[in-house]
Amino acid sequence: MGDMQVLRGMGVSGGIAVGRAVCIETRVPDVYRIPITEDQVEEEVARLYDGARRARYELQRTRDKANEDLGNELAAIFDAHVLLLSDPHFLGKVEQRIRKLLVNAEWAVHKTAEELDDRFAHLDDAYIRERSEDLTDVSRHLLRSLQGTAHHHDLSELPPDVIIVADDLTPSDAIRLGRAKVLGFAIESGGRTSHTTIIARGLNLPAVAGLAGVIGAVADQASIIVDGETGTVILHPTPEVLEQYEVRKQELDRRDSEFLETRELGAVTTDGVEVRLMANIDLPEEVGEVAPFGACGIGLYRSEFLYIERSPHLPTEDEHLETYRHMIEAAAPHPAIIRTYDLGGRKLAREMMATEEENPVLGLRGIRLTLARQDIFRTQIRALYRAGVYGDLWVMLPLVSTVDEVRSFRAFADDVLRELEQEGVPFRRDIRLGVMIEVPAAAMIADVLAREVDFFSIGTNDLIQYSMAVDRNNEHVASLYQPLHPAILRMLRFVIDSARAAGIEVSLCGEMAADPRFALLLIGMGMRRLSMSPRRIPEIKTWLRDISASDLAALADGCLAHSTAAEVQRHLDNFFECVVSREARERAVRN
């Protein structure tokens, strides 16, 4: 056992997890070292050669495609890869590792590539260094090919008390791992609003992100604590520290059960202003949390996860329909707001993209991809209008930046409705259509957009990213990711005022809504609908039931008068200190 070590990052999903580390480096495909027994060796070696054969076949196909699209000279690059995959020296070394170390083929490939790469790196011949890049590429192909067949080396083999320590995790990694019942995450990259951390919160798994170098600091199987409340990770905790954390865990559980008692209470301020607190849902299993946490309907269902979970297969119309029906029923008697696929950007859309993009977050994402690939989206739109017959469904479009996109979508939807009508399939025509306000251009034309749609939902996760020019996943610029920046507050005020003037609903479904202080500021700015992870609802409800909307309106005016995010933060903190001490005074008088 090593000495205790404390690492600090960002607490991106609350709660405390105590367990054993499993390290995953995802910048190459996830590779686990899995011991095999003597009598599994032959089977494992056969898997290796089988995997190599399939990877060669795949590469050959890629080569042929490149030949058609790019010409023979560029396609020749793949020849080197195909050759390497037939190289008896490389595969022989991998085989030897499996036999000698009794490990799975993936691990043997990973380690052999690493060793050869290390040797190449020390040679200063440019040609050889290029071969090293080929090798990295080829070993990734081979790993993917092996993983495609690795039924007996899947995540279900992870022991029960695992905490994943990773350099980076995609949202789909987080879903897979979360469902494999891991206890928590400690990640090098990421920020509060990256989709991976949103998924961690959805699955109620403690997570700390922005932990530079954590992969190098942790050994597999090390004892580890992830404290998502404070953003702390503790390696090799002493028995005393473990005990302290046990006590804290119990306190948190108690706090959660106290919060649950607010379920039946209204989200109403002391001067009678009612606020709708709705649920953000990413995965179908989260709908079970809508009612217990007292959500008034679903304010955002990120339907793209339906696709991400089934990739590379596209969900069928019936799968869409069943999922939407499930959402609508869970939300009843309140509305369910379902967002059309927000794929592209960092959300995997391999099957739909013609080419790789250099800057995908500014690329063919959200509504842009919907309009570009109507052949694929038709299935989703048909299912949405069909699902309308089951209850109060609202449909929302992501990443809108122009009025034309809304009009094009309406024309597309009209076409789909004509088709359904001709087929005699039951559907609902008058579904409310809204847009996400998450691109600064959309925020600045909110008054114009408000005439085109039935509602707005503000996506601050992206609105802040695009306004501040700060990648929401990049831990290096996380300090510039400022929800309280005056530019953001002014934009929010403009959008809220524009919606009110046009008489349409406006809600906010970015992570900003889930922070009690930000939520109250937003209510002060006139927001009457907030959507968040359902687990956040009780705390926010508890806060707002103790404060008057008129005090919050004054708070918002005060905050909007400042010049920097730090000044706004101080203003907000002072206000809350006053409220807390006032509350304490009142309690003292009552008692």
> Annotated active-site positions, please?
195, 509
Query: Is the CB of 78 or the CB of 455 nearer to ligand PEP?
Result: 455
| Count of other CB atoms within 10 angstroms of residue 57 | 13
Cα(337)–Cα(435) distance, integer angstroms: 11
Kindly state whether residue 282 participates in binding Mg ion, applying the rule CB under 5 A. no
Query: Which of the ranges 419-427, 454-462, 494-502, 556-564 carries the binding residues for ligand PEP, by CB under 6 A?
Result: 454-462
* Number of shown-chain residues binding ligand PEP (CB under 6 A): 10
In what order do the strands lie in the sheet containing 232-235? 5-8, 232-235, 223-227, 16-24, 162-166, 184-187, 207-209, 10-13
Query: Is the CB of 540 or the CB of 547 nearer to ligand PEP?
Result: 540
Residues contacting residue 330 through CB under 8 Å, at least 6 positions apart: 287, 288, 290, 291, 298, 336
Q: Which residue has the tokens 């997570």?
A: 207
Site track for ligand PEP across 406-445, x = CB under 6 A = --------------------------------x-------
Provide the 3-class DSSP secondary structure of residue 16: strand
Chain centre distance of CA 260: 25
Instruction: In angstroms, give the least distance from the CB of 462 to Mg ion.
Output: 4
By a kind-dependent CB cut-off of 5 to 8 A, residue 196 interacts, out of Mg ion, ligand PEP, none, with: none
Query: Is the CB of 153 or the CB of 365 nearer to Mg ion?
Result: 365
Choice from 342, 405, 475, 505 touching ligand PEP (CB under 6 A): 342
Kindly state whether residue 462 participates in binding Mg ion, applying the rule CB under 5 A. yes
Would you state the structure tokens that stand for residue 22, as one six-digit string?
């499993």
Provide the 3-class DSSP secondary structure of residue 165: strand
The answer to whether the beta carbons of residues 527 and 273 sit under 8 Å apart is no
Choice from 30, 282, 438, 505 touching Mg ion (CB under 5 A): 438
Q: Which residue has the tokens 């990640």?
A: 187
Instruction: In angstroms, give the least distance from the CB of 299 to Mg ion.
Output: 13
Cα(175)–Cα(336) distance, integer angstroms: 22
Query: Which of the ranges 17-25, 291-299, 325-333, 457-465 carries the binding residues for ligand PEP, by CB under 6 A?
Result: 457-465
Cα(55)–Cα(91) distance, integer angstroms: 13
Query: Is the CB of 143 or the CB of 198 nearer to Mg ion?
Result: 198
Which residue number has the CB closest to ligand PEP? 459
Query: Which of the ranges 332-340, 347-355, 436-444, 528-536 carries the binding residues for Mg ion, by CB under 5 A?
Result: 436-444
AA identity, residue 78 = F
Q: Which helix (H) or strand (E) holds 94?
A: helix 88-101
Instruction: In angstroms, give the least distance from the CB of 105 to Mg ion.
Output: 39
Kindly state whether residue 340 participates in binding ligand PEP, applying the rule CB under 6 A. no
Kindly state whether residue 459 participates in binding Mg ion, applying the rule CB under 5 A. yes
Query: ∠381-387-388 over CA atoms, to 5°?
Result: 95
Query: Is the CB of 14 or the CB of 344 nearer to ligand PEP?
Result: 344
Cα(142)–Cα(136) distance, integer angstroms: 10
Residue list 293-332, contact with ligand PEP (CB under 6 A): 300, 302
Query: Is the CB of 94 or the CB of 199 nearer to ligand PEP?
Result: 199
Cα(520)–Cα(362) distance, integer angstroms: 31
Kindly state whether residue 509 participates in binding ligand PEP, applying the rule CB under 6 A. yes
Kindly state whether residue 95 participates in binding Mg ion, applying the rule CB under 5 A. no
Distances from the Cα of 60 to the Cα of 20, 137, 148, angstroms:
41, 14, 18
* DSSP code at position 408: H
The answer to whether the beta carbons of residues 526 and 498 sit under 8 Å apart is no
Site track for ligand PEP across 260-299, x = CB under 6 A = ----------------------------------------
Query: Is the CB of 182 or the CB of 532 nearer to ligand PEP?
Result: 532
Chain centre distance of CA 171: 5
Query: Which of the ranges 82-90, 279-287, 331-339, 431-439 carries the binding residues for Mg ion, by CB under 5 A?
Result: 431-439
Residue numbers at the binding site for ligand PEP (CB under 6 A): 300, 302, 342, 438, 459-462, 509-510
Residue numbers at the binding site for Mg ion (CB under 5 A): 438, 459, 462
